[in-house]
Structure 1
Amino acid sequence: MNTSPRLGVGWSTHFDRPWPMRILYRRLRYAYRAPSLFIEQMVGAGATIAFLRFDERLRAEDLDGTQRALADAVDFLYLSTHGETKSAAYKVSLHGSDWSPASSGIGAAGPVVAVFDTCDLVDFSEANWMEPWAQGVGTALRLILGFAGPATVNQSASLRGTAFAENLQRGIPIAPSWLSAVQQTRLPQTDRAIAIAIGDDEDDAEYILHRSTLSDPLPPRTAVTPLIKAEVCP
């Protein structure tokens, strides 16, 4: 990682599903805003865009390795869409199909940081919530950011995209930058941001969770079994 990271960004605002299921996939009018604001701020400071895909152009087969693995070529992945966790398995809903990042082996070569700006990245009611991340991700992925529960998607809450980038550019560590950005822009008592560090051991995970910055490279893990640590904003 460096102060000029490669960004992979995508969002889904509408969803192509069979009629009986469409009520579960409501349109997300403002899903574009947080990632777009993040891009604007980061590119202005020297970051580069490796890919930008949205709606019908953002496809699961381009993320899971079926046709390509776009996320392998980036340092930061930022996706905004619907998300859910069932039986400890997290998936994002794209325009035409769903993608389960952990089961597809995200992190084989990249990204280093994945931001899932969706609802329900984790479900703490599941005792084994960390197992898919510990068992399914590649060694390049060191930090996962998202929400423990619902995520508000509207004009004001989506300002977290700008706040996150600004915090990073001030030299604030990556995970605290996300947690603080959500706190800065959320409605009262809603939107619990979460940061999940994937380390070689407890000290490594602790460092990633509290001290790693844009200017602090995070090399791939070396341990066979990762150590997972998480922090949720109050």
Structure 2
Amino acid sequence: MSVEAITRLFTRSNGEFVFARWGRPIAPIVFGVEDQTIATVKGAVEAVVTLAGHKMAETDPELGANMMWFFLRDWSELLETPDLDRLIPDLAPLVGRLQAADANQYRIFRFEPDGAIKACFVFIRMDEIMSDIPADVLTLGQAVQSILLWSDEAFLGSSIMIAGEDGPVLRPDIADVVRAAYDPVLPSATQSETHALRLQARITASQGPLQ
């Protein structure tokens, strides 16, 4: 992947470059689905965390759970979730915007003082489009989009998955970026575009010399 392509993955629609990765072990919790789907979600998170070389935990000592997944049929269900408005300020206006946009997914991040990701809320409205996606594909895609603070335009018009021999798999170029992003030598958060150069250098080094 070129430096320009990597830069676009972390350049927001307002033109600002923002990179952040998780600074603490990820402790997921899932609401609104049966136990089988909960296992699928946690399996997807574990697969992406393993790809990144990061860590998972049963609980977060400060938050209890720091990656919260909500599956719902209508955005109004969020307003009925006990204490969610205490975790997400301005919840009612947010629900109104999601309804107006007819959105089927949304993610909210919280950050450490140094800018690293502290928590992530993943909201999935199971409309016809989402319901047609196999659970393992849906959850893997959402887990990838939650492992880094990607641009809000990173995957517009393109899929994060491609066809594999046994079904859809994560795009290799995106997998390369995730692995490089968690290099312990790199900062957990930065707004410097030169970070794309450092990511690209690590991707190139990991692929070895050309044959």
TM range (shorter): 0.3 to 0.5
Q: What TM-score do you get using the length of structure 1 for normalisation?
A: 0.36
Rg (Cα) greater in structure = 2
- Indicate the structure whose relative CO is greater, using CA pairs within 8 Å and at least 6 residues apart: 2
Name whichever structure is richer in strand by fraction. 1
Q: What TM-score do you get using the length of structure 2 for normalisation?
A: 0.38
